[in-house]
Amino acid sequence: MAFLLSGALFVVSADNSDGTDLRPGRYTDLASVVRAERSEANRLTERVATLTQQVEGLSSGLGDRAVNRHQRRIEELQDPAGLTPRTGPGVTVTLTDAPQELIETSAENPNFLVVHQQDIQAVVNALWRGGATAVTVQGQRIISTTGIKCTGNTVTLQGVPYSPPYVITGVGNQAGMLGSIDVDEYVQRYRRDASNPDIAVGWGLELTPLVTAPAYDGLLSLTFAQALPADAPG
Protein backbone atom coordinates (compact mmCIF):
# COMPACT_ATOMS: atom_id res chain seq x y z
CA MET A 1 0.00 0.00 0.00
CA ALA A 2 2.83 2.39 0.91
CA PHE A 3 4.55 1.67 -2.38
CA LEU A 4 1.29 2.29 -4.25
CA LEU A 5 0.75 5.64 -2.47
CA SER A 6 4.33 6.70 -3.14
CA GLY A 7 3.98 5.82 -6.79
CA ALA A 8 0.74 7.78 -7.05
CA LEU A 9 2.47 10.79 -5.44
CA PHE A 10 5.32 10.59 -7.91
CA VAL A 11 2.84 10.46 -10.82
CA VAL A 12 0.91 13.53 -9.54
CA SER A 13 4.14 15.46 -8.92
CA ALA A 14 5.48 14.63 -12.35
CA ASP A 15 2.22 15.72 -13.92
CA ASN A 16 2.15 19.04 -12.02
CA SER A 17 5.79 19.82 -12.70
CA ASP A 18 5.39 19.05 -16.40
CA GLY A 19 8.73 17.38 -16.31
CA THR A 20 10.48 20.22 -14.43
CA ASP A 21 11.84 20.50 -10.92
CA LEU A 22 9.24 21.44 -8.32
CA ARG A 23 11.94 23.12 -6.24
CA PRO A 24 13.99 25.06 -8.75
CA GLY A 25 16.86 27.27 -7.70
CA ARG A 26 15.02 30.25 -9.25
CA TYR A 27 13.05 30.74 -6.05
CA THR A 28 16.27 31.43 -4.21
CA ASP A 29 17.45 33.63 -7.09
CA LEU A 30 14.13 35.48 -7.12
CA ALA A 31 14.54 36.32 -3.46
CA SER A 32 17.97 37.74 -4.22
CA VAL A 33 16.55 39.78 -7.07
CA VAL A 34 13.82 41.14 -4.81
CA ARG A 35 16.37 42.13 -2.18
CA ALA A 36 18.55 43.85 -4.80
CA GLU A 37 15.58 45.69 -6.30
CA ARG A 38 14.41 46.74 -2.84
CA SER A 39 17.87 48.05 -2.06
CA GLU A 40 17.93 50.01 -5.35
CA ALA A 41 14.44 51.33 -4.67
CA ASN A 42 15.53 52.49 -1.23
CA ARG A 43 18.58 54.19 -2.73
CA LEU A 44 16.46 55.98 -5.32
CA THR A 45 13.93 56.97 -2.67
CA GLU A 46 16.70 58.54 -0.62
CA ARG A 47 17.98 60.31 -3.75
CA VAL A 48 14.49 61.67 -4.46
CA ALA A 49 14.23 62.90 -0.89
CA THR A 50 17.59 64.66 -1.16
CA LEU A 51 16.69 66.31 -4.47
CA THR A 52 13.29 67.33 -3.14
CA GLN A 53 14.99 68.95 -0.20
CA GLN A 54 17.34 70.84 -2.54
CA VAL A 55 14.42 72.00 -4.71
CA GLU A 56 12.56 73.23 -1.66
CA GLY A 57 15.65 75.09 -0.50
CA LEU A 58 16.13 76.75 -3.89
CA SER A 59 12.44 77.57 -4.15
CA SER A 60 12.46 79.20 -0.75
CA GLY A 61 15.49 81.24 -1.87
CA LEU A 62 13.38 82.85 -4.58
CA GLY A 63 11.63 84.76 -1.87
CA ASP A 64 14.89 86.15 -0.59
CA ARG A 65 14.97 89.94 -0.65
CA ALA A 66 18.34 90.04 -2.43
CA VAL A 67 16.99 87.80 -5.21
CA ASN A 68 13.85 89.90 -5.49
CA ARG A 69 15.92 93.06 -5.69
CA HIS A 70 18.00 91.67 -8.57
CA GLN A 71 14.85 90.44 -10.29
CA ARG A 72 13.33 93.91 -10.09
CA ARG A 73 16.54 95.37 -11.49
CA ILE A 74 16.42 92.93 -14.42
CA GLU A 75 12.83 93.95 -15.13
CA GLU A 76 13.81 97.63 -15.04
CA LEU A 77 16.58 97.03 -17.60
CA GLN A 78 14.39 95.06 -20.02
CA ASP A 79 13.10 98.24 -21.66
CA PRO A 80 16.33 100.25 -22.06
CA ALA A 81 18.05 97.07 -23.26
CA GLY A 82 15.56 96.85 -26.13
CA LEU A 83 13.84 93.69 -24.93
CA THR A 84 10.36 95.22 -24.82
CA PRO A 85 8.41 96.94 -27.65
CA ARG A 86 8.43 100.74 -27.82
CA THR A 87 5.59 102.80 -29.31
CA GLY A 88 5.52 106.53 -30.00
CA PRO A 89 6.05 109.25 -32.61
CA GLY A 90 8.52 108.20 -35.27
CA VAL A 91 11.06 109.58 -37.72
CA THR A 92 11.85 107.31 -40.66
CA VAL A 93 14.85 107.78 -42.95
CA THR A 94 15.16 105.73 -46.14
CA LEU A 95 18.53 105.31 -47.85
CA THR A 96 18.99 103.67 -51.23
CA ASP A 97 21.55 103.33 -54.00
CA ALA A 98 21.61 105.62 -56.99
CA PRO A 99 19.58 104.48 -60.02
CA GLN A 100 21.21 101.57 -61.83
CA GLU A 101 21.57 103.46 -65.12
CA LEU A 102 23.48 106.21 -63.30
CA ILE A 103 25.73 103.68 -61.59
CA GLU A 104 26.57 102.21 -65.01
CA THR A 105 27.29 105.55 -66.71
CA SER A 106 28.49 107.95 -64.00
CA ALA A 107 32.07 109.17 -64.00
CA GLU A 108 31.94 109.45 -60.21
CA ASN A 109 33.61 106.98 -57.89
CA PRO A 110 31.19 104.01 -57.75
CA ASN A 111 31.51 103.94 -53.95
CA PHE A 112 29.71 107.28 -53.82
CA LEU A 113 26.71 105.84 -55.63
CA VAL A 114 25.77 103.09 -53.17
CA VAL A 115 24.76 102.99 -49.52
CA HIS A 116 27.40 101.75 -47.08
CA GLN A 117 27.27 100.58 -43.48
CA GLN A 118 28.69 103.90 -42.27
CA ASP A 119 25.80 105.74 -43.94
CA ILE A 120 23.28 103.63 -42.04
CA GLN A 121 25.27 103.91 -38.83
CA ALA A 122 25.47 107.69 -39.14
CA VAL A 123 21.68 107.97 -39.32
CA VAL A 124 21.23 105.53 -36.43
CA ASN A 125 23.68 107.50 -34.28
CA ALA A 126 21.99 110.80 -35.15
CA LEU A 127 18.64 109.37 -34.04
CA TRP A 128 20.14 108.17 -30.77
CA ARG A 129 21.70 111.55 -30.11
CA GLY A 130 18.39 113.20 -30.88
CA GLY A 131 16.71 111.33 -28.05
CA ALA A 132 15.35 108.22 -29.75
CA THR A 133 14.13 105.67 -27.23
CA ALA A 134 14.24 102.87 -29.80
CA VAL A 135 15.68 102.47 -33.31
CA THR A 136 14.99 99.86 -35.98
CA VAL A 137 16.72 99.07 -39.27
CA GLN A 138 14.70 97.02 -41.75
CA GLY A 139 12.25 96.45 -38.92
CA GLN A 140 14.88 94.89 -36.65
CA ARG A 141 15.42 96.43 -33.22
CA ILE A 142 18.89 97.88 -32.76
CA ILE A 143 20.57 97.26 -29.39
CA SER A 144 24.02 97.92 -27.97
CA THR A 145 25.48 94.71 -29.44
CA THR A 146 24.00 95.08 -32.94
CA GLY A 147 26.54 95.05 -35.74
CA ILE A 148 25.96 96.66 -39.14
CA LYS A 149 28.41 95.71 -41.86
CA CYS A 150 28.72 95.59 -45.64
CA THR A 151 28.76 92.22 -47.34
CA GLY A 152 29.24 92.63 -51.07
CA ASN A 153 26.42 94.82 -52.40
CA THR A 154 24.25 94.17 -49.34
CA VAL A 155 24.33 95.20 -45.70
CA THR A 156 24.29 92.51 -43.04
CA LEU A 157 22.39 93.25 -39.86
CA GLN A 158 22.58 90.78 -36.97
CA GLY A 159 23.69 88.08 -39.38
CA VAL A 160 20.90 88.68 -41.93
CA PRO A 161 21.77 90.26 -45.32
CA TYR A 162 19.55 93.06 -46.67
CA SER A 163 19.55 94.94 -49.95
CA PRO A 164 18.45 98.57 -50.43
CA PRO A 165 16.34 100.50 -49.75
CA TYR A 166 17.37 100.66 -46.10
CA VAL A 167 14.60 101.87 -43.80
CA ILE A 168 15.73 103.34 -40.47
CA THR A 169 13.12 104.37 -37.90
CA GLY A 170 13.56 106.14 -34.60
CA VAL A 171 10.89 106.26 -31.90
CA GLY A 172 10.81 109.28 -29.62
CA ASN A 173 10.76 113.06 -29.70
CA GLN A 174 10.50 113.98 -33.37
CA ALA A 175 11.87 117.52 -32.99
CA GLY A 176 14.96 116.26 -31.19
CA MET A 177 15.65 113.55 -33.76
CA LEU A 178 15.13 115.93 -36.70
CA GLY A 179 17.42 118.51 -35.13
CA SER A 180 20.14 115.89 -34.61
CA ILE A 181 19.86 114.72 -38.22
CA ASP A 182 20.11 118.28 -39.49
CA VAL A 183 23.36 119.06 -37.63
CA ASP A 184 25.14 115.74 -38.15
CA GLU A 185 28.11 116.42 -40.46
CA TYR A 186 28.23 112.94 -41.97
CA VAL A 187 24.50 112.96 -42.70
CA GLN A 188 24.85 116.44 -44.22
CA ARG A 189 27.48 115.13 -46.65
CA TYR A 190 25.25 112.22 -47.59
CA ARG A 191 22.34 114.58 -48.24
CA ARG A 192 24.53 116.78 -50.46
CA ASP A 193 25.42 113.68 -52.47
CA ALA A 194 21.72 112.83 -52.67
CA SER A 195 20.97 116.27 -54.15
CA ASN A 196 23.89 116.02 -56.62
CA PRO A 197 22.47 114.68 -59.94
CA ASP A 198 25.81 113.05 -60.73
CA ILE A 199 25.58 110.91 -57.60
CA ALA A 200 21.89 110.90 -56.61
CA VAL A 201 21.98 108.36 -53.81
CA GLY A 202 18.51 108.00 -52.36
CA TRP A 203 17.38 109.98 -49.32
CA GLY A 204 13.89 110.06 -47.85
CA LEU A 205 12.54 111.38 -44.55
CA GLU A 206 9.06 110.80 -43.15
CA LEU A 207 7.33 111.67 -39.88
CA THR A 208 4.95 109.10 -38.45
CA PRO A 209 2.47 109.99 -35.66
CA LEU A 210 2.67 106.52 -34.11
CA VAL A 211 5.12 103.70 -34.77
CA THR A 212 6.10 100.58 -32.84
CA ALA A 213 9.64 99.25 -32.56
CA PRO A 214 9.40 95.52 -31.79
CA ALA A 215 11.39 93.95 -28.99
CA TYR A 216 14.81 92.58 -29.89
CA ASP A 217 14.54 88.81 -30.36
CA GLY A 218 18.06 87.86 -31.39
CA LEU A 219 20.96 86.36 -29.44
CA LEU A 220 22.03 88.14 -26.27
CA SER A 221 25.33 86.41 -25.57
CA LEU A 222 28.49 88.52 -25.60
CA THR A 223 31.93 87.27 -26.59
CA PHE A 224 33.70 90.54 -25.76
CA ALA A 225 32.69 93.88 -24.31
CA GLN A 226 34.54 96.93 -23.10
CA ALA A 227 33.08 99.98 -21.37
CA LEU A 228 33.55 103.27 -23.22
CA PRO A 229 35.03 106.26 -21.37
CA ALA A 230 32.47 108.65 -19.94
CA ASP A 231 33.53 111.39 -22.36
CA ALA A 232 33.40 109.16 -25.47
CA PRO A 233 31.31 110.58 -28.35
CA GLY A 234 27.83 109.12 -28.77
Buried b (16+ CB within 10 A) or exposed e, 11-38: eeeeeeeeeeeeeeeeeeeeeeeeeeee
Q: Domain of 109?
A: 86-213
pLDDT at residue 225 greater than cutoff 60: no
Q: Quick: pLDDT tens for 107-118.
A: 888 888 999 999
Spell out the residues 6+ positions from residue 218 whose beta carbon is closer than 8 angstroms to its own. Answer: 140, 158, 159
8 within some domain: yes
Write down how long the chain is.
234
Residue-level pLDDT at 226: 67
Report, as an integer, the average pLDDT of 81-101. 91
Backbone angles phi, psi at 65, to 5 degrees: -65, -35
Mean pLDDT of the chain: 79
User: Which CATH number do you get for residue 130?
Assistant: 3.30.70.1880
What percent of the chain clears pLDDT 90, i.e. is strictly above it? 41
DSSP H or E run through 176: helix 174-183
Whether 140 is in a domain gets the answer yes
Examine the fold and report which residue of 42, 60, 78 is the final residue of a domain before the chain moves on.
Answer: 60
Residues 91 and 206 in one domain: yes
Q: Which amino acid does the sequence have at 99?
A: P
Same domain, yes or no: 100 and 44: no
Mean pLDDT in residue range 154-178: 90
**pLDDT value of residue 26:** 47
**Most confident segment among 39-53, 69-83, 124-138:** 124-138
Does pTM top 0.85 for this prediction?
no
pLDDT tens figures, 21-72: 544 444 455 556 656 766 776 687 778 778 877 876 776 666 566 666 766 7
Give the 3-state secondary structure of residue 169. Answer: strand
What pLDDT sits at residue 221?
60
Over residues 124-132, the mean pLDDT reads 96
HSE (CB half, 13 Å, CA atoms) of 35? 6
How many CB atoms are located within 10 Å of the residue 56 CB? Answer: 10
Kindly tell me the number of DSSP H helices and DSSP E strands found in the chain. Answer: 7, 8
Residues 97, 52: one domain?
no
- Does residue 91 belong to any structural domain of this protein? yes
pLDDT tens track for 1-21: 555 455 545 555 555 555 555
What's residue 60's pLDDT? 63
**Triad 91, 140, 228: Cα angle to 5°:** 85
Cα separation of 168 and 141, whole Å? 10
- The 3-state DSSP class for residue 123 equals helix
Q: Based on the domain organization, do 99 and 198 belong to the same domain?
A: yes
